[in-house]
Structure 1
């Protein structure tokens, strides 16, 4: 994780991720400038604490979309002429200029997302994605509460600072990227599966059969909802409705439970040198605290206790 604390704004300005621009101070500097960045190889979360009231004029870098969320000084922040409150978010597209006016020192969170990942996410959900988001900056009220995004960001910053080896494997970064993108766009998009008409009148049993066949033939740690969409030639909304209709849960939850079962099986067949960290890394688990809680919720014991019992049995 990039961590920066500086007394002057110039260094802070140069370290910003996904955008390029210039600060003009509108008040006397009152504190140091602080910046934290978690880079997930295509998605980056950045938290900043500015040292003064500022006007920032910037442009989104080619290849990146950005979402901007003030954490403090909401009422004194204005983006492109739009006054903020605790529900509003700013959306910046590549190569488009924007202006952020903060009358007092502010803290904020941004998420920079590569165009490739955003376009892939949109293609999987084209029946509910507002493609005008790809072409213009906007300021809007979040469709849902911002809490899930802020909680996820705090967890990622904490883990990247204290256990980076858990987060920066290929599988873990992919899982974290997917979770961040899903939370970001669920906040922006008005998703209403009940009233939205499906684009394809497909046989739901056939979609479910193909989805379960995919899970039976592939390693569960490498499967995501978008893989199910591709295998079944169905939209993400349709797949979500099918899983809720027949299995009583979303594809994301079903995959999470299947992954927990796969990890449990790996623990029960662990070798002498295996650790929970190594096993979890293979399955893209990056938040060990949340994983351990879910594992105990479903299996009544902690992962470390399961591993200890499995190794004891192997010596009998």
Structure 2
């Protein structure tokens, strides 16, 4: 897999929405490994973008970079370091903003798993589970050890005979749970989110994003978000820039570009390009086409022709 569109469909353990925000030349991809009850994922985010998500209500999710980039990722407005372990409770809303390509490893653990029950009270004791999350700073050698153990788990199962995989998956899961417990006991420091620096912005932006999520087919304007969040535009602007690094106007432009991209990708010959553009509020076709080509590497018309060629012709 080396396609942004395919990548957005492949994530497990959370319901996510991706907005690509700048051109990229690095690969996109995700591999997942289902163990006995836990799910292990390895991802490569090929370029800058925004990831909104809600974790599975039955799983605690832990995420760490496997690439060594400090200050390339924001989590709900907080800057992440390369060795930070993110802990997301079940049903937790989160927003990652990437300024470049990153690679990551994630573990989705059943909420009743012992390590999950050990860390969850610490995460949710000071904030509602819907927004509470932990940013845990690990010593570099501890982070490297965890990433290597996860990679070894993938290799062990991939290299084993199919008949042996259930037993190996069981043993591997037990070993990984022990590793995660060791990591938790040897953490260097931790930050609970939201905190006093992010809570105000988080409330406003989450209300805005929830409004956008509930109206996926609608043409949304700034005035609609101002009305939904019940704040002045200046307050909305400060919240978006602190939380996402973008103004709300720029966010809506990215949303429009990405919605058109996915519509073209999924509709193909089933929809006329001009109808797709109009449905998403595009009025200046030439200017929009230039932005689309800058972000996705081709004109909307080229993407539509390519997508149409890949779809079966049902009229025959």
Q: Which of 155, 159, 162 is matched with 1:162 structurally?
A: 159
User: What is the distance in 2 between the residues matched to 1:13 and 1:41?
Assistant: 25
State the partner residue of 2:6: 11
In structure 2, do the counterparts of structure 1 residues 77 and 172 end up closer, same or farther at CA, with 3 Å as the change threshold? Answer: same
State the partner residue of 2:123: 133
Summarize the alignment of residues 104-115 of structure 1 with structure 2, pairs less than 5 Å apart: 104-115=100-111
User: What is the distance in 1 between the residues matched to 2:34 and 2:116?
Assistant: 22
SS in 1 for 2:155: helix
Q: Which of 16, 20, 30 is matched with 1:21 structurally?
A: 16
Q: Deviations over 1:268-298 (max 9, x none)?
A: xxxxxxxxxxxxxxxxxxxxxxxxxxxxxxx
Q: Deviations over 1:218-238 (max 9, x none)?
A: xxxxxxxxxxxxxxxxxxxxx
- CA positional deviation for 1:13: 1.6
In structure 1, list runs of 5 or more residues that go unmatched: 192-316
SS in 2 for 1:56: strand
- CA positional deviation for 1:29: 2.6
Q: Which of 49, 52, 77 is matched with 1:54 structurally?
A: 49
In structure 2, list runs of 5 or more residues that go unmatched: 188-316
- CA positional deviation for 1:139: 1.0
Larger-Rg structure: 1
**Paired residues of 1:130 and 1:189 also in contact (CA < 8 A):** no
User: What is the distance in 1 between the residues matched to 2:154 and 2:161?
Assistant: 10
In structure 2, do the counterparts of structure 1 residues 140 and 11 end up closer, same or farther at CA, with 3 Å as the change threshold? Answer: same
**Paired residues of 1:78 and 1:100 also in contact (CA < 8 A):** yes
User: What is the distance in 2 between the residues matched to 1:51 and 1:153?
Assistant: 21
- CA positional deviation for 1:164: 4.9
User: What is the distance in 2 between the residues matched to 1:167 and 1:75?
Assistant: 42
Please, what TM-score do these two structures have when normalized by structure 1? 0.52
- CA positional deviation for 1:121: 4.2
Please, what TM-score do these two structures have when normalized by structure 2? 0.52
**Paired residues of 2:60 and 2:108 also in contact (CA < 8 A):** yes
- CA positional deviation for 1:10: 2.8
Q: How many aligned residue pairs are there?
A: 180
SS in 1 for 2:148: helix
Summarize the alignment of residues 101-250 of structure 1 with structure 2, pairs less than 5 Å apart: 101-117=97-113, 120-121=114-115, 131-133=121-123, 135=129, 136-142=132-138, 145-165=142-162, 168-169=165-166, 171-189=167-185
**Paired residues of 1:166 and 1:172 also in contact (CA < 8 A):** no
- CA positional deviation for 1:77: 1.1
User: What is the distance in 2 between the residues matched to 1:23 and 1:74?
Assistant: 21
Q: Deviations over 1:98-137 (max 9, x none)?
A: 11111001111111111122xx4466xx6xx662236431
SS in 1 for 2:12: coil
SS in 1 for 2:108: strand
User: What is the distance in 1 between the residues matched to 2:49 and 2:161?
Assistant: 33
Q: CA RMSD in A?
A: 2.5
Please list every run of at least 4 consecutive aligned residues from structure 1 whose deviation after the TM superposition is greater than 6 angstroms.
none
User: What is the distance in 2 between the residues matched to 1:174 and 1:82?
Assistant: 36
Q: Which of 76, 83, 103 is matched with 2:79 structurally?
A: 83
User: What is the distance in 1 between the residues matched to 2:6 and 2:164?
Assistant: 27
